[in-house]
Amino acid sequence: MMNLKINSWVTIISTAAFSIEAVLVELLYVVASIPALAIAAGSMPIAGAMVLIVNGFIFRNKFTIFKGNGWKMLIIGGALFTVADFLWYDSIDKIGSGKIMLLTIPAEDVFIVLLAVVFLAERMLKLQLVGIGVAIVGFTISAASNVSGNGVQFQIGDLEAILSAMCNALAITLFAKLIVRYNPTEVSGWIMLISGLVINAIQYTFYPPHLSVMDWLYLIGFSFIALAAFTLYNVSMKRIGSSMTSIITSSSLVLTVVIQLAMVPLGIAFTLPSNLVLALLGGGISIVGICISSKAEQKREKTEEKIIEKKMVVITN
């Protein structure tokens, strides 16, 4: 029971870190005029390198992922995560951190379940289908929160957010397999390092940023938040499973917008959905849908565990 509480707190801290990370990206763009892609290019390799250094030289863990076939999944997952990260950071400049979280988290959950059905031949439970339906309704309401006199406006940033969620869902499916066989901290480090270096190459090839010493200090500080969010998420998936992790992290949907609203009185010009009530309503409905879907998945996992236990008893006897 105590271990479950500790592991749940790991996920809660990861959730808060994801929300703070999203808000900080927009904050650095608005206040310090650092482009979102420059933030990704600068902070991700630093965060990845720090994780690998801590894992290898402080905790004395051996790097094992390149000894087996894990590196193949790492390369594919890294490529998918790079695309997801590139689109995620780029869309923050366009639609703001609050809306991107409202769109990407429920979309990711829906895509992950659909991928399991299509590629892993998993049977979708009725309750899971209900949960996905509710999440899609919430997602649609959030997407429609940019309302003007000309009606609902669907922006290029919205499309980037959806594509980011799809690529991230594919990457998470691969990571779930990797962290069963390898140290989640090592997996996180290599993924962030690979993704950051590729985004760096794109950034400095096509539109190199002009960053001051102060800008780099901001990016180094930000890299600690990115490091905490991604590493703790992978640790949480290994300790309490993807279902419970999804339930807890879904709260970052609304938490991000709440943090934005709390900072508005400070005079920071965040990009917020034009209809906040609609955005938060959609976020709340999405959280309910994710919880229903994840609870159904938990039920399935427990049933499968019981079946395996019964088979082991029969074999033993």
Q: ∠ CA 259-264-269 to the nearest 5 degrees?
A: 110
**What H or E segment, with its residue span, contains residue 107?**
helix 97-119
Q: Is residue 202 part of a domain?
A: yes
Report whether 196 contacts 44 (CB < 8 A).
yes
Distance CA 269, CA 101 (A): 18
Distance CA 190, CA 53 (A): 11
For residue 289, which of 180, 134, 148, 175 has the smallest C-alpha distance? 134
What percentage of residues in the chain have a pLDDT greater than 90?
20
- Residue 211's φ and ψ, nearest 5 degrees, are -105, 135
Q: What is the torsion angle, in degrees rounded to the nearest 10, for the CA atoms of residue 200, residue 259, residue 101 and residue 49?
A: 30
Quickly state the pLDDT bin for 113 (edges 50, 70, 90). Answer: confident
Tens of pLDDT, residue by residue over 50-98, are 889 988 887 788 888 887 788 888 899 899 999 999 999 999 888 888 8
Q: What is the pLDDT of residue 242?
A: 67
Looking at per-residue confidence, does 8 or 165 come out higher?
Answer: 165
Tens of pLDDT, residue by residue over 200-229, are 998 889 888 889 999 999 999 999 998 888
Residue 52 tokens read as 């690998």
Quickly state the pLDDT bin for 6 (edges 50, 70, 90). Answer: low
pLDDT reading at 279 higher than 90: no
Q: What is the pLDDT of residue 124?
A: 74
pLDDT reading at 4 higher than 70: no
What mean pLDDT comes out for the span 292-306? Answer: 72
What mean pLDDT comes out for the span 258-280? Answer: 86
Tally of domains within the chain: 1
Strands (E), the chain: 147-148, 151-152
Distance CA 113, CA 111 (A): 6
Q: What is the pLDDT of residue 314?
A: 58
Q: Is residue 167 part of a domain?
A: yes
Q: ∠ CA 236-8-276 to the nearest 5 degrees?
A: 95
pLDDT reading at 246 higher than 80: no
pTM of the model: 0.82
Q: Is residue 133 part of a domain?
A: no
Q: Which residues make beta-bridge pairs with 151?
A: 148
**Count of residues for the chain?**
317
* Cβ neighbours of 97 (radius 10 Å): 28
For residue 90, which of 191, 4, 233, 207 has the smallest C-alpha distance? 207
Q: Is residue 296 part of a domain?
A: no
**What does pLDDT average to over the chain?**
83
Rg (CA), the chain: 20
Report whether 199 contacts 44 (CB < 8 A).
yes
Residue 7 tokens read as 């592991």
Q: Which residues make beta-bridge pairs with 152?
A: 147
Domain extent for 94: 11-114+153-272
Distance CA 104, CA 110 (A): 10
Looking at per-residue confidence, does 226 or 8 come out higher?
Answer: 226
Q: Greatest CA span in the chain, whole angstroms?
A: 73
In 61-96, alpha helices (H): 70-95
Q: Is residue 173 part of a domain?
A: yes
Q: Is residue 307 part of a domain?
A: no
What mean pLDDT comes out for the span 178-187? Answer: 84
Q: What is the pLDDT of residue 3?
A: 52
Q: How many CA atoms lie within 13 A of 261 on its CB side?
A: 12
Report whether 48 contacts 228 (CB < 8 A).
no
Residue 61 DSSP label = -
What mean pLDDT comes out for the span 100-116? Answer: 85
The Cα-based distances of 279 to 100, 137, 140, 144 in angstroms read: 11, 12, 10, 8
pLDDT reading at 306 higher than 70: no
Report whether 39 contacts 29 (CB < 8 A).
yes
pLDDT reading at 49 higher than 70: yes
pLDDT reading at 167 higher than 90: yes
Q: Is residue 48 part of a domain?
A: yes
Q: What is the pLDDT of residue 140?
A: 86
Q: What is the pLDDT of residue 316?
A: 63
pLDDT reading at 2 higher than 50: no
Q: Is residue 123 part of a domain?
A: no
What mean pLDDT comes out for the span 288-307? Answer: 75
* Cβ neighbours of 313 (radius 10 Å): 9
Positive or negative, the Cα torsion across 211, 216, 219, 223? positive
